[in-house]
Amino acid sequence: MSRRYVYGPQSPIVSRPSNTSISGSSSPFSNYQRRRLPAKVVALSTANRDHSNGSVLLDNRSGTTTLQEMRDGYAEVVDPKSGVVGGVQDVYGEDTATEDQPVTPWAVSVASGYSLLRDPHHNKGLAFNEKERDSHYLCGLLPPTVVSQELQVKKMMHNIRNYQVPLQRYMAMMDLQERNQRLFYKLLMDNVEELLPIVYTPTVGEACQKYGSIFNRPQGLFISLKEKGKILEVLRNWPEKNIQVIVVTDGERILGLGDLGCQGMGIPVGKLSLYTALGGVRPSACLPVTIDVGTNNEELLNDEFYIGLRQKRATGQEYAELLHEFMTAVKQNYGEKVLVQFEDFANHNAFNLLEKYGTTHLVFNDDIQGTASVVLAGLISAMKFVGGSLADHTFLFLGAGEAGTGIAELIALEISKQTNLPVEETRKKVWLVDSKGLIVSSRAESLQHFKRPWAHEHEPVTELVDAVNKIKPTVLIGTSGQGKTFTKEVVEAMSALNEKPIILALSNPTSQSECTAEEAYTWSQGRAIFASGSPFESVEYEGKVHVPGQSNNAYIFPGLGLGLIMSGTIRVHDDMLLVAAEALAAEVSQENFDKGLIYPPFKNIRKISAHIAAKVAAKSYELGLATRLPPPKDLVKYAESCMYSPSYRTYR
């Protein structure tokens, strides 16, 4: 239960928890009187609504009735005889209590402005102007200078660039997010190409690996086996009520780094910061969740700084029950239209969860579906370089898990739509290799269910290079999570078969990339059409500069999510993934093609996301899955109008 105390400059005012009665002797607040607020405090409370969520500047965080009381012009005023008073005394008892005495962890905030400076949702730092400093009791709490948000961005970039180590940059960004949310998003949006590799792959991978050591203030909601039976209550502890997107992981397959248990939290936090920065979804509508069912990572279990449950992963019924309770509680608490994005689950759970909840919830698996859409977009635009249509190509994957089979299926679906051939037929253009070799019919019995549609007639092949030489693919896609697997031999084999081999090394982070951009361009004598999951620098080969694209689902999920939210969509449909891919491919300009790119630059991502959102929403209306009626006339404009802006608001 959250208690928040708000002290005004003239008389101390105290807010009480929403579910606490102020009458009755059992109430800890029974010694408060209800009194008219001082004029200045009333003015503050009514004037400072954040229009994005209708909340109030002062104390709009969780579990207090302050909002309503402020609107009414009332608050609870401390009885001076109660012993609970402001000033310099130790009013809460923490300091005077002996070590064996329990104390109440009351949060105290002072309306003189000190709390405002420490509220990341409203803090503007040195950008508070003179008038705001005066009316919000900030005088003396800030040095005299007043700066613009633009100057703050410039200063932060200067500071961040001074850190040589990416993890330090990541920590500086997280620190900023916890200190000044609008500045964080403005910084990220204005410098998206430079900062994406920090808040996202590859650095977020290292951050997850070291999360226990760098852990400072908790972000997101941790739901562990300990919370079984009370997940709904746990959801209600989250301060924001109007949630539109949840990104949830159980930490078992974090990028290509394996099981990082509870430390996977960096991923939902990072993905949701992109929902806001790239897709314009309000930060207060985003909820990062980590489900902690233990970890099988021995190193973490033995790490004294590990933050999660110290036990092996729960599986089977115990796992299913916890996930089911979570999914049920989510719908109960946030309704039918909250989007739940599954992220970095291991494939033995990911496919089942998507299938199980796909018919009852608005769910989306980014690794299976978002990746499929972004890769399809890249392939559609790559046709510009190689000619023909997708149906003319042969695709070979290294890695037959979530990403690999998800992409494979969407390619087959797109070819089926283009050619009117049944998808069972178009799948024959696609081949996959897993850790045991080429997926062929003789292996069908022992294959996981998601691999079976790809078990074509062929003799067994163990080595990738042999598969390349036998299948003769025009497109090679890495989704293995294993670095350095596109060897010189493999890239040379692709280059011997194709004038312009399409090579996508999708595994993250950089250390797990199947090959580097330099290797792809050098080993193909500058002929490869290359993109990777994590970013690589441009490469000069024989006097020509090659700019590698980033084939990452970050192009898709923010716009797709926005489209679902703005149309009030209740279910995700494969056709939405297809239109999202087409919308992304349509954003690649001639100038981008001239540089060898198959994706547009991230610096245009807000515009791209608006276009993706519009196409997704249009498809949803067409399929009868959208509930926000009537549909807006201009969906692109509507998408843009829905987008969060990180510019500071003026406080009256």
Q: Which one of the listed residues 7, 32, 200, 651 is annotated catalytic?
A: 200
Give the start-end residues of each E strand in 16-161. 33-36, 49-50, 55-56, 74-77, 107-110
Q: Which two three-digit tokens encode residue 277? A: 């920065």
Residue nearest to ligand CC(=O)C(=O)O (CB): 508
253 is in an annotated binding site: yes
Asked if residue 482 binds ligand NDP (CB under 6 A), the reply is: yes
191 is in an annotated binding site: no
Which of these, 101, 105, 120, 111, lies nearest to 5 by C-alpha position? 111
Distance CA 520, CA 599 (A): 17
Neighbours of 229 (CB within 10 A): 10
Asked if residue 551 binds ligand NDP (CB under 6 A), the reply is: yes
Asked if residue 248 binds ligand CC(=O)C(=O)O (CB under 6 A), the reply is: no
Stretch that binds ligand NDP, among 152-160, 182-190, 251-259, 327-335 (CB under 6 A): 251-259
Residue from the set 399, 535, 549, 563 that interacts with ligand NDP by CB under 6 A: 399
Asked if residue 377 binds ligand NDP (CB under 6 A), the reply is: no
For residue 477, the surrounding DSSP H or E stretch is: strand 475-478
Distance CA 588, CA 634 (A): 22
Residue 35 β-bridge partners: 75
Stretch that binds ligand NDP, among 94-102, 223-231, 469-477, 547-555 (CB under 6 A): 547-555
Stretch that binds ligand NDP, among 93-101, 111-119, 320-328, 397-405 (CB under 6 A): 397-405
Q: Exposed, middle or buried, 149 (CB in 10 Å: 0-12/13-18/19+)?
A: buried
Q: How far is CA 132 from CA 55, 111, 115, in A?
A: 18, 13, 14
Question: Interface residues for ligand NDP in 455-474 (CB under 6 A)?
Answer: none
634 is in an annotated binding site: no
Residue from the set 366, 434, 519, 587 that interacts with ligand CC(=O)C(=O)O by CB under 6 A: 366
Q: Which two three-digit tokens encode residue 197? A: 């590799």
Q: Which does 402 bind (CB under 5 to 8 A by kind): ligand CC(=O)C(=O)O, ligand NDP, Mg ion, none?
A: ligand NDP
Report whether the peptide linkage leading into residue 509 is cis, meaning its omega lies within 30 degrees of zero.
yes
Rounded least distance, CB 224 to Mg ion, Å: 21
Asked whether the beta carbons of 285 and 240 are under 8 A apart, the reply is yes
Q: Which amino acid is at 449?
A: H
Asked if residue 516 binds ligand NDP (CB under 6 A), the reply is: no
Rg of the chain (C-alpha set): 27
Q: Which does 176 bind (CB under 5 to 8 A by kind): ligand CC(=O)C(=O)O, ligand NDP, Mg ion, none?
A: none
* Per-residue interface string for the shown chain with ligand CC(=O)C(=O)O, residues 386-415, x marking contact by CB under 6 A: ------------------------------
Asked if residue 569 binds ligand CC(=O)C(=O)O (CB under 6 A), the reply is: no
Asked if residue 514 binds ligand CC(=O)C(=O)O (CB under 6 A), the reply is: no
Q: What is the 3-state secondary structure (H, E, C) of 545-585?
A: EECCEECCHHHCHHHHHHHHHHCCECCCCHHHHHHHHHHHH
Stretch that binds Mg ion, among 241-249, 300-308, 335-343, 633-641 (CB under 5 A): 335-343
Distance CA 621, CA 628 (A): 9
Rounded least distance, CB 377 to Mg ion, Å: 17
Stretch that binds Mg ion, among 169-177, 198-206, 341-349, 482-490 (CB under 5 A): 341-349
In 261-401, where does DSSP find H-type helix? 266-277, 298-301, 316-334, 347-357, 371-386
Asked if residue 264 binds ligand NDP (CB under 6 A), the reply is: no
Q: Count of H helices and E strands in the chain?
A: 26, 21
Q: Which does 524 bind (CB under 5 to 8 A by kind): ligand NDP, ligand CC(=O)C(=O)O, Mg ion, none?
A: none
Which of these, 579, 281, 547, lies nearest to 417 by C-alpha position? 579
- Give the CA count within 13 Å in the CB-facing half-sphere of 337: 15
Asked if residue 552 binds ligand CC(=O)C(=O)O (CB under 6 A), the reply is: yes
Stretch that binds ligand NDP, among 156-164, 237-245, 249-257, 559-567 (CB under 6 A): 249-257
Q: Which one of the listed residues 124, 186, 210, 271 is annotated catalytic?
A: 271
Q: Exposed, middle or buried, 339 (CB in 10 Å: 0-12/13-18/19+)?
A: buried
Residue from the set 59, 367, 402, 409 that interacts with Mg ion by CB under 5 A: 367
Calculate the CA 590 to chain-centre distance: 30
508 is in an annotated binding site: yes
Asked whether the beta carbons of 128 and 149 are under 8 A apart, the reply is no
Told to judge if 170 belongs to the known catalytic residues of this protein, a careful annotator would answer no
Residue from the set 292, 414, 434, 519 that interacts with ligand NDP by CB under 6 A: 434
Question: Interface residues for ligand NDP in 206-235 (CB under 6 A)?
Answer: none
344 is in an annotated binding site: yes
Report whether the peptide linkage leading into residue 630 is cis, meaning its omega lies within 30 degrees of zero.
yes
Asked if residue 402 binds Mg ion (CB under 5 A), the reply is: no
Asked whether the beta carbons of 86 and 16 are under 8 A apart, the reply is no
Distance CA 185, CA 400 (A): 36
Residue from the set 508, 522, 550, 609 that interacts with ligand CC(=O)C(=O)O by CB under 6 A: 508
Question: Interface residues for ligand NDP in 527-546 (CB under 6 A)?
Answer: 533
Which of these, 206, 219, 354, lies nearest to 289 by C-alpha position? 219
Q: How many residues bind ligand NDP (CB under 6 A)?
A: 31
Q: Which does 349 bind (CB under 5 to 8 A by kind): ligand CC(=O)C(=O)O, ligand NDP, Mg ion, none?
A: none
Handedness of CA 250, 295, 551, 463 (dihedral sign): negative
Told to judge if 81 belongs to the known catalytic residues of this protein, a careful annotator would answer no
Residue from the set 76, 206, 250, 344 that interacts with ligand CC(=O)C(=O)O by CB under 6 A: 344
* Residues lying near ligand CC(=O)C(=O)O in the complex (CB under 6 A): 201, 255, 344, 366-367, 508, 533, 552-553
- Footprint of Mg ion (CB under 5 A): 343-344, 367
Active-site annotation, residues: 200, 271
What residues line the site for ligand NDP (CB under 6 A)? 253, 255-256, 347, 367, 371, 374, 398-404, 433-436, 479-482, 485, 506-508, 512, 533, 551-553
